[in-house]
Structure 1
Amino acid sequence: MATYTAHSAVDMSSVGVDNGGTSDVTDDGVTVTSGTSRTDYGGEIYFYGTEVCGTLRSVAHSEDSALQWEVTGFSRDVHTFNAFLLDGDGESAMG
């Protein structure tokens, strides 16, 4: 079961796809940044050409280097996660 931890007031229904640039890719996940916004996507994530594939296991979002919220303890296919977010359903995206 997913565990959600808010480090500030957050409306999960407004969680969306961060359209920044990929700033870091490691064996443990991908970091996307846009200005002072940073989102860390943890799991077994890989690229097939320009397509992002794999399994997400955690997401953490920061603004101005301050952690805003994080979700851990879930396992979701990257494409399924993205489809829920594009439909505006951030809560279901986390499992």
Structure 2
Amino acid sequence: MTTVPVQYYLIVAAALFSIGLAIAITKRHYIGMLLGIELMLNAVNINLVAFGRHDPEQLSGQLFALFVIVVAAAEVTVALAIILRVYGHFKTVDPDKVNELKQ
């Protein structure tokens, strides 16, 4: 069985993080921004698991990745609830058109 070098994981994670950052910065609506943030969190998970493979006796990388997945699920839930409330009030999901915080 051949093992994949860690550098390959890091290259894929860096590319995924860069794509997620570009999406989060350039998208003009909240859902696109949320997808970009999720891509960045997945890149972090790849890094955690890749570094966790270096020390097979301890599962710290995999446990941190599991923790990041749980936090990401909670973040998506809260973000979608906020987006639904903003849409219900302003009738748009365009961040540029949401210009007041008072009701």
Q: TM-score, length-normalised on structure 2?
A: 0.21
Higher RCO (CA < 8 A, seq sep 6+): 1
Name the one with the larger strand percent.
1
Tell me the TM-score normalized by structure 1: 0.22
Which structure dedicates a bigger proportion of its chain to helix?
A: 2
Structure number with greater Rg is: 2
